[in-house]
Chain A
Amino acid sequence: MTAANAPLLEIDDLFVRYGVPRGLVGGLRRKPRLAVHAVDGITLMVQAGELVALVGESGCGKTTTAQAVLRLVDPASGSIRFRGDDITELGMRALRPVRRRMQIVYQDPYESLDPRLRVRATVEEPLLIHGIGSKKERPSLVCDALTRAGLSPPELYLERFPHQLSGGQRQRVAIAAALVLDPQLLVADEPVSMLDVSVRAGVLRLLEELKASGLGILMITHDLSTAARFADRIAVMYLGRIVEEGPAAEVVGNPQHPYTKALLSVVPRRDPRMRRTPQILRGETPDAVRIPSGCRFHPRCPIAIEACRSEDPSLRRPDGTRSPDHRAACLLA
């Protein structure tokens, strides 16, 4: 059932685990089965015309979350709703029409484009896969997508190979190949981190325009300054959980969780006069196989108290916040 005013994407209490191979010896010895708790109970919403940034360090589960949304990995539990429809259990055939409406753009346009395909073929391929348009209609759909992605006039690019394009142009081709299916949700996994600084802004501005035209965008990034500038909402992930979430300006301007505060403090500023002593977190990168008891951040937390060892905080609205949508998972916030 599709509710007319249902959010574009609703992730509810999502869990994704990857089994750790025990090996032959481990199996014979009946060693306990271990799992990587990549996503450990995430609830997140993306509305149409909204850009949500999922921020966190490598291994925190942000890419796994994106893959689960697109059903590229199967969740262990929880649900994913797209325009109100539960798509968590859909089979491959039933998923196809949904997939057309949710597309992904990957980090590295040097890797994600087939070097032997011309731009025309790369952008046309999704149409062929989904059986959209006749042979006559497809060229104009391809040109429309290229124009929307900022490659105009499209005739200039149609016959080129990826190696004849700059990094920014390649990423725009990847975006055009996603747009050609006229999706409603775009997942962008670190869309600019491989690009030169001078062209990043152009690609980000393109995402901003697409958002204004009604697309919902889930952007995965580790760059808080980009998220702060371009996202409507920011969700900060740590070890498979969202530890803080809210309007971008609130999360950046009035951070509540000590992890968010630490992340913000280490972002290099472009003004040398703004040099501060960064609050560098020590300790090892957390292991998603053995998640700490209580608050999963407590072993690295600078302000942890005794209760943090045993009590697992849930997301709630802290007292010091200005926005009702600003939530943090910290006992002390």
Chain B
Amino acid sequence: MTALLQIEDLNVWFDLPDRGELHAVQGVSVGIEPGERLGLVGESGCGKTTTVLALMGLLPPSASASGRVLFEGKDVLAGGETSMRPHRWTDVAIVFQGAMNALNPVRTIGSQIVEAIELHGRAKRAAARMQTGELLESVGIPAARADRFPHELSGGMRQRAAIAMALSCRPKVLIADEPTTALDVMVQAQILELLDSLCTDFGLGLILVTHDLPVVAQLCDYGVVMYAGEIVERGLVDTLYHAPRHPYTRLLFAATPDLGHETEEIVSIPGAPPRLDQPLVGCPFRPRCDSAFSPCVTVRPVLRGLSDRHAAACHLNDLPLATPR
């Protein structure tokens, strides 16, 4: 079966003005089905935003990408802007990080959505306004509020408006980059509930980009953990929490305080991610890893399938009696 959206062996390099290249995304492959909720997790600088920008064809000019981005089986990356353009927004849409603060302050939210609909030739005037009303209703904003300005809305309402705008061309895949980071817990819960119902009601595939593991555990079916530009582990969120096979995944969960586990020691992961402007030798996580052993110094681990939909890039899994704990 062809996935709705499939990324294969994606690599992204940034040209640095003075010293060579920065290899921001390294051999990332991931796919998403209709109605699936996929969480892309990692620390800042791990390449998660670069990955989704690449699949939207929105990388800055200083970046170059290789690999394939298949939309319903068709490669949209190879042909550059010409092949990407018909798919962007109409098939794959993105709610950027901080999109709620990037709405035009001097225009009503309704007119901004109408503009998006008209620009893409989806509808004109009255019909576009009607669609806007429906879109706003679908994200939980009363249609009558279309004539409000962004400053008249609360943060949660602005985030809903930003989601409505991304949905204006009825995409099949929605990417949400840190959609709840600046929001309060209660508003965060409302937005997560909205994203969840959009997937259920419209069969939307969701790629949630976040550094917040509990949010992924709460909302997503499938999780992809990135570190230093590559996928270190992926699997069902239940597997990632209960049976992680990469020390980074295990440590990330252990670094997250959780209600009901107040007496548990919260770990911090010492050190910092490696620089990506120099070639990496061995496992990129080794300097921070609590279970590293000799092969980790010299041999770069590859992402290896462990069971259905579960894969990890760790030498520990090659040991005869793999005991990642």
Interface residue ranges, A against B (CB under 8 Å): 57-58, 166-167, 196-202, 204-205, 222-226, 228-230, 248-249, 252, 262-264, 266-275, 278, 280-281, 284-285
Contact = CB atoms under 8 A, between A and B. Distances in A.
A57 B186 contact: yes
Interface string B135-150: 0000000000000000
B215 interface: yes
B268 A202 contact: yes
The 8 nearest A-B residue pairs measured at CB: A268-B214, A202-B268, A266-B189, A201-B268, A198-B269, A268-B218, A229-B257, A201-B266
Contact of A197 (B189, B211, B242, B259): B211
Of B238, B242, B253, B255, chain A has the most CB atoms within 10 Å of the CB of B255
B184 A269 contact: no
Interface residues of B, number: 45
Contacts of A58: 155, 184
Nearest to A279: B189
Contacts of A252: 259, 262
B72 interface: no
Contacts of A266: 185-186, 188-189
A230 B212 CA distance: 19
B252 interface: yes
B43 interface: yes
Contacts of A273: 238, 242
A177 to B, nearest CB: 21
Interface of B: 43-44, 154-156, 184-190, 192-193, 211-215, 217-219, 237-238, 241-242, 251-253, 255-262, 264, 266-270, 272, 288
Contacts of B269: 198-199
Nearest to A275: B218
Given A58-B184, A268-B218, A200 B268 contact: yes
Nearest to B263: A229
A270 B238 CA distance: 10
Contacts of A272: 217-218, 237-238, 241
Contact of A196 (B156, B190, B211): B211
Contact of B259 (A167, A205, A224): A224
B322 to A, nearest CB: 23
B197 to A, nearest CB: 12
A286 to B, nearest CB: 11
